[in-house]
Structure 1
Amino acid sequence: MAKSFRLGPGLKARLERVARAEGTSTSESIRRAIGRYCEQVLGAALAPRLTDVIGIGRGGGGRARRSGEAFRRVLRRNRRQPA
């Protein structure tokens, strides 16, 4: 897919320096940079993106202690129903 965009003179010069340093074309340098940016935005794990909100809420608690009991009830109920 071809795209067209404008670069300011400063960014154009920096891009050309990067391409020379990497030994690639400016197009390849742009593709790599876009790929890294997409990974940064979309590929990050959820937990690091939620660090500012993890742990600030409080719940009623006790659910983890009762999860085994609830799971057993579901299994018993499913066992009784014919498949």
Structure 2
Amino acid sequence: MQRKERRLRLRRRDEVPEGKAYMNPSMMAELGISSAIEVVIAGKKKLYFQAQPNDKVPPNEVWCNTDELKMQGVADYTIATVRARAGG
């Protein structure tokens, strides 16, 4: 069975701990995400995060740690493909 995926906007947020990603609970349910997510940028760079539901996050966004995204070379407002991590 193929995993559902969506193109969502990555946002840098200082309040998000490293290794975590905050997502809207309804988007997590739509994509079948229970814990880990895979984020693919431009079809090349893959990042993995532990997803946590947060009602403050708009449905079309994923909030990640500011410093972590900077270290990976990911700009604020980047569009990326987001899906549940295989096996997670």
Question: Which TM-score tier does this pair reach, normalised by the shorter chain?
Answer: under 0.3
Largest Rg, 1 or 2: 1
With the length of structure 2 as denominator, give the TM-score of the two structures: 0.22
Bigger helix share: 1
Bigger strand share: 2
With the length of structure 1 as denominator, give the TM-score of the two structures: 0.23
